[in-house]
Structure 1
Amino acid sequence: MIPDLGNYAVEVMSAYVLSILLLVAIVAVSLRRGRKVRGQLVKIEARKESANV
């Protein structure tokens, strides 16, 4: 079920692959940053709770 892309098959397929790779990279960076920020928030909340005791 591959569409007939004619003379531009290489260009179109490489654009698809590049787009997918960029999307995967953006999601990976976002997830990594989210974990880092969540960890920092936990540390800040722990310091705040220990200061209030």
Structure 2
Amino acid sequence: MHTLDYCKLDEDGATKLLKGKKVVVVGFKKSAIDLAMECAKANQGGKQEK
């Protein structure tokens, strides 16, 4: 999914999309770094929810 499509999601939709998934971010500019941070936040830095 391109970041242009991802940014159209609301916060809940984005969290549901990323929750529990391994994600590969291809890129190195601001949008890639922002997306990597959101992936980490959605998955609580790798902690599993009980």
Give me the TM-score of the superposition, normalised by structure 2.
Answer: 0.33
Q: Which has the larger radius of gyration?
A: 1
Q: Which has the higher contact order (CA 8 A, sep 6+)?
A: 2
- Normalised by the length of structure 1, the TM-score is 0.32
Structure (1 or 2) with the greater helix fraction: 1
